[in-house]
Chains A and B, each alone.
Chain A
């Protein structure tokens, strides 16, 4: 079931240190990682690299840039089939707790999962694997 080719993960976060840390973590778990520190670059990488999954920080240069990027990726013909995970420590900015658990909420947030920072690397890997195995099977 494990494919030989490493799965390519797109990481977008404006915190360079977190970006570096998650990259090292995911690479050590056997993934190939491409990174961007702003949503514009993130979109460009998505188009040019066609990753197998995307992990996006919610708040970047504009308050909703993570949302917007997630939405665009999910609307894209290719992107709608890949898992998109949004990371946030930012329930505060908009005042409500994010979730994508109900079908309706998923529709609205346009991503597959919302995870609160700080992320536990193994939890992240487990989630990714569950999405990948779902697709592969």
Chain B
């Protein structure tokens, strides 16, 4: 046959001569032929293998040919069956066809007659098979499309950003669970006008396109407070969706959760406010004194004048310190600090700082003790930062200490950390103060701290330095007894085989 497929034919006939003869005839023409000598064998063969065509004798001793055909068609409904019979009549013909035969061929038949019928039958079979193939392909493609669509849906439903699409009439056509959540809707009805149910800012973003019905490719964004008090903020962006012909099909809105960002923004602006307040205060104080000096209606004694000049100096000193501390913080914030990591000799650093504070230490008669464990692993860090750390802690330990008090500086190690501790016998902290201790500009204020000056940034800087090394800070304090600051700095793995001997 034409397309290279070798048609398979089944002959079911009890007449041996006819069976063998027809088989030989057909095989000669390139068909593949199998035979069965009775009905039951025919059924067995025909239901276990799919034949393209079957020639079935009508009258067989064991079972009716039509029965055989019925059984075969049950399993292979697309088989083309020819009923062959010597008892030709209209009735038999109609009967056969009624039960599913393609045609019937009266016996005896000539080879030409046989081939003609076979050819017709085979064409029919080919058509059937082709139709089947197309149907299968179509189903597969539909499945693919459905799969793609559900894959797309899955993706859309998985993104955290809220997605809402409306058509050019403002009716909702697509949305995802995040959109429902962000907009606080229980449901969105598809093809329902939704614009007036939306937050006015979001409605406005959409209306920018709906009102002009133009599709110039541009987007609009707004920060929208969906829940008051900064509890939930989104950045909503609307973009036009175009039809193939360039007209407006609809608008897509994407909502991104920026609540965290807003919180940080708020904290930063609060910080800026606090900074400007802290900077203005000493300036106002000095300015105020100058105004007193220049006010002709006010008489100041020499003592007052000297006092005010002194106070002005003190305030400006404080201002300068504050500015330097702020610069330190801003550098750390911008991470423009390049750490110069090298081996640190803690004893040298601490000794130098204690030297620096000699006057204050002597004034209050404070005893300073430095202790360190026998075998200490080496600390690798930036010298300036560690120096700053100790300066701030020791300065506080002196400032807030009692007269005749003491300061203990203890260096030890545990596991993967080196532990730096600064302990004092100072006025200590109340629980409320402890929680705010590392906040910028926080300074404990009570009767005992009246005369203690400071920028309120020292501990904030200590915390930033410790954080930058991924270290830990621990504070223990008892009001009126004393305070201990413990810093845990991680040692770099593998580098710390050399060990420092304990210093004096």
Contacts and interface: CB of A to CB of B under 8 A. Distances in A.
A29 to B, nearest CB: 8
Interface of A: 14-15, 17-18, 20-21, 24-25, 28, 37, 61, 89-90, 92-93, 117-118, 121
Contacts of B292: 21, 24-25
B445 interface: yes
Interface stretch (B5-13, B22-30, B283-291): B283-291
Contacts, number: 48
B285 A92 contact: no
A121 B291 CA distance: 10
Interface string B448-469: 0010000000000000000000
Contacts of B289: 17, 21
Given A18-B285, A21-B292, A89 B277 contact: yes
B277 A25 contact: no
A20 B445 CA distance: 20
A118 B287 contact: yes
B92 to A, nearest CB: 102
- Tell me whether chain B's interface is mostly helix, strand or loop, or mixed: helix
Contact of A21 (B277, B288, B445, B446): B288
B16 interface: no
Given A15-B281, A61-B445, A118 B288 contact: yes
Nearest to A41: B447
A28 B273 contact: no
Interface in B274-311: 274, 276-277, 280-281, 284-285, 287-289, 291-292, 295, 297-298, 300, 304, 308, 311
Contact of B311 (A14, A17, A28, A89): A17
Interface in B18-47: none
Contacts of A14: 445
- Tell me whether chain A's interface is mostly helix, strand or loop, or mixed: helix
Contacts of B315: 17
Contacts of B270: 92
Contact of A118 (B284, B300, B308): B284
A20 B273 CA distance: 26
Contact of B277 (A20, A92, A118, A121): A92
Given A15-B285, A17-B288, A18-B285, 16 more contacts: A14-B445, A15-B281, A17-B289, A18-B284, A20-B311, A21-B285, A24-B298, A24-B304, A25-B298, A37-B450, A61-B446, A89-B277, A92-B273, A93-B273, A118-B288, A121-B295
A118 B280 CA distance: 10
Nearest to B446: A61
Interface string B112-127: 0000000000000000
Nearest to B298: A28
Contacts of A21: 285, 288-289, 291-292
A21 B288 CA distance: 6
Nearest to B299: A28
9 contacts: A14-B445, A17-B288, A17-B311, A21-B291, A24-B292, A25-B292, A25-B298, A89-B284, A121-B295
